[in-house]
């Protein structure tokens, strides 16, 4: 059967062949490059929208529609997105391209698409009511403009924006520089940050929530369903991060510092690059970070807001740290068999109980923290994944190599189980 998506991918193959002769000269990178002359972006857990060449323009077709989405096994929801996914497919083109983007509205309310950060004629900017009539349910509109810049950009509705974005409508729009890049990267990942109020036991995001979200996602996925970033030692990696959530996110990469090299404004001149270990990606912003891997291993990559690496949890709960609940637990058990007093020594036991099947949350609700690593529970659950650097990862191979095998003697190890071990200096009591 020829579905819409099949048809689009067929069109994409034809389109790439049509421009093969026009490929711009570009610095050589390790993996083979497509006919377009650029290293394609890899949208983590996502996909790139095929296009076809028609009347001198690269023609794309977006469909705004309701979709079924899985955040991670155990948590599904009816969301809104484009062409069957949230985020919508990544649009990828080259500076100087003429692009034509058809937008079909299969929602029950009007929509538009705003091309966030792109230099275009005012009537193509997509603010419903201000720049164009709204796209009514069932209608298809066409946007057409020439790309006069390069960089990492986004697209999202500008009509009932609060609801449509809260339901998952957003995507990446990557424009590659026409002249190539003087410092090439060998892998180019892209992701969008988002937050969701998918209340425990429900199956549709709640757009009215402003701060207290249940799910924090990279490309609408929650750890451990977020794919790892994979690379080979010595390669240069770029990670493009866009934020269309309701919070700023300090994005942090373990291992040595990265360079912040670009934004919506394209790749900055090297004199403007700066070394960081954490970069705040503000709401509505994009940041590109680059990194040359020098040390093999499994390196954490995550938002540094501690609650943003957690799954659903109540926030109006009493603080039980340091509280002996022994007797209370027995009393409550008379009323609620199986009740467990928790939290006296912290929240970490939660992950253990979850792993042992001792706790069962509401339907369609992920645990607060989860993920099993080679050494035990990882205690994460939101904006978290792993950068896997390997000495023998073949160029262009994105397959998950499994957990890192540490050389002998290079893992932190236990030297004592006695709390009074050694004689560590302590500040004297005042
Ligand atoms: Cu965050």
Distance 405 CA to ligand 1 centre (A): 30
Distance 88 CA to ligand 1 centre (A): 21
Distance 108 CA to ligand 1 centre (A): 31
pLDDT at 99: 98
pLDDT in tens, 130-175: 999 999 999 999 999 999 999 999 999 999 999 999 999 999 999 9
Distance 62 CA to ligand 1 centre (A): 29
Distance 294 CA to ligand 1 centre (A): 27
pLDDT at 243: 97
pLDDT at 45 over 80: yes
Confidence of residue 355 (pLDDT cuts 50, 70, 90): low
Rounded distance between C-alpha atoms, residue 349 and residue 359, angstroms: 11
Quick one: average pLDDT of 198-223?
A: 92
Distance 305 CA to ligand 1 centre (A): 5
3-state DSSP call for residue 115? strand
Distance 226 CA to ligand 1 centre (A): 15
Distance 250 CA to ligand 1 centre (A): 6
Q: Which of 149-163, 179-193, 319-333, 352-366 has the lowest mean pLDDT?
A: 352-366
Distance 239 CA to ligand 1 centre (A): 16
Largest CA distance in the chain: 80
Rounded distance between C-alpha atoms, residue 114 and residue 157, angstroms: 6
Distance 215 CA to ligand 1 centre (A): 11
What is the distance, to the nearest Å, from the Cα of residue 429 to the centroid of all Cα atoms in its chain? 47
pTM, to two decimals: 0.84
Distance 248 CA to ligand 1 centre (A): 6
pLDDT at 3: 44
Rounded distance between C-alpha atoms, residue 27 and residue 13, angstroms: 24
Distance 309 CA to ligand 1 centre (A): 7
Q: Which residue has the higher pLDDT, 323 or 31?
A: 323
Distance 382 CA to ligand 1 centre (A): 9
Quick one: average pLDDT of 97-117?
A: 98
Looking at domain 4-20+35-181, does it have CATH number 2.60.40.420?
yes
Distance 282 CA to ligand 1 centre (A): 10
Distance 117 CA to ligand 1 centre (A): 22
pLDDT in tens, 16-34: 333 333 333 333 334 445 5
Distance 46 CA to ligand 1 centre (A): 20
Distance 315 CA to ligand 1 centre (A): 16
pLDDT at 2: 39
Residue with tokens 């929509």: 111
End-to-end CA distance of the chain: 79
Quick one: average pLDDT of 30-56?
A: 84
Distance 245 CA to ligand 1 centre (A): 9
pLDDT at 328: 79
pLDDT at 10 over 90: no
Rounded distance between C-alpha atoms, residue 266 and residue 227, angstroms: 26
Confidence of residue 36 (pLDDT cuts 50, 70, 90): low
User: For a pLDDT cut of 70, what percent of the chain falls above it?
Assistant: 86
Distance 426 CA to ligand 1 centre (A): 35
What are the C-alpha distances in Å from 253 to residues 73, 220, 236, 293? Answer: 26, 20, 14, 12
Distance 278 CA to ligand 1 centre (A): 11
HSE (side-chain half, CA atoms, 13 Å) at 245:
30
Rounded distance between C-alpha atoms, residue 301 and residue 298, angstroms: 10
Distance 307 CA to ligand 1 centre (A): 8
- Whether 172 and 43 have beta carbons less than 8 Å apart is answered as yes
Rounded distance between C-alpha atoms, residue 76 and residue 68, angstroms: 7
Distance 135 CA to ligand 1 centre (A): 33
pLDDT at 1: 40
Q: Which ranges in the chain are annotated with CATH 2.60.40.420?
A: 4-20+35-181
What are the C-alpha distances in Å from 68 to residues 6, 46, 191? Answer: 19, 15, 20
Distance 82 CA to ligand 1 centre (A): 24
Burial 372-395 (b: 16+ CB within 10 A, else e): eeeeebbbbbbbbbbbbbbeebee
Residues around the ion ligand 1 (C-beta < 5 A): 249, 303, 305, 308
Distance 243 CA to ligand 1 centre (A): 10
């Amino acid at each position: 059967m020829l579905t819409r998506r099949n048809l689009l991918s067929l069109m994409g193959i034809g389109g790439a062949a049509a421009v093969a002769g026009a490929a711009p000269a570009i610095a050589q990178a390790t993996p083979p490059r497509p006919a377009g002359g650029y290293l394609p972006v890899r949208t983590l857990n996502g996909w790139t929208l095929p296009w076809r060449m028609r009347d001198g323009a690269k023609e794309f077709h977006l469909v705004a529609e309701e979709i079924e989405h899985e955040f991670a096994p155990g948590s599904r929801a009816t969301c809104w997105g484009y062409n069957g996914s949230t985020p919508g497919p990544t649009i990828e083109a080259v500076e100087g391209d003429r692009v034509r983007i058809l937008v079909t509205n299969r929602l029950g309310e009007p929509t538009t698409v705003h091309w966030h950060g792109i230099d275009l004629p005012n009537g193509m900017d997509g603010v419903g009511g201000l720049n164009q009539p709204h796209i009514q349910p069932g209608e298809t509109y066409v946007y057409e403009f020439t790309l006069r810049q390069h960089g990492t950009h986004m697209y999202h509705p500008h009509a009932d924006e609060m609801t449509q974005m809260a339901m998952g409508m957003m995507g990446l729009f990557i424009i590659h520089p026409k002249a190539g890049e003087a410092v090439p990267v060998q892998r180019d990942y892209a992701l969008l940050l988002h937050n969701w109020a998918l209340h425990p036991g429900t199956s549709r995001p709640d757009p009215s929530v402003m701060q207290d979200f249940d799910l924090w996602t990279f490309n609408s996925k929650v750890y451990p369903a977020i794919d790892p970033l994979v690379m080979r030692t010595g390669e240069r990696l770029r990670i493009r991060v866009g934020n269309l959530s309701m919070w700023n996110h300090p994005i942090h990469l373990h291992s040595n510092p990265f360079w912040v090299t670009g934004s919506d404004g394209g790749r900055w001149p090297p004199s403007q690059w700066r070394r960081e270990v954490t970069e705040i990606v503000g709401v509505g912003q994009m940041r590109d970070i680059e990194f040359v891997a020098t040390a093999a291993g499994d390196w954490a990559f995550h938002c540094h807001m501690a609650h943003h690496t957690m799954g659903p949890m109540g926030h109006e709960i009493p603080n039980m740290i340091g509280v002996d609940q022994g007797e209370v637990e027995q009393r409550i058990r008379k009323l609620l068999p199986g009740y467990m007093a928790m939290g006296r020594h912290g929240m970490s036991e939660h992950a253990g109980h979850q792993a042992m099947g001792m706790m069962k949350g509401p339907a369609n609700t992920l645990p607060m923290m989860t993920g099993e690593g080679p050494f035990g529970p990882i205690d994460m659950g939101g904006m978290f994944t792993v950068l896997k650097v390997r000495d023998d990862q073949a160029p262009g191979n994105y397959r998950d190599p499994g957990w890192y095998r540490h050389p002998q003697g290079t893992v932190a190890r236990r030297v004592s189980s006695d709390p009074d071990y050694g004689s560590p200096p302590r500040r004297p009591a005042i």
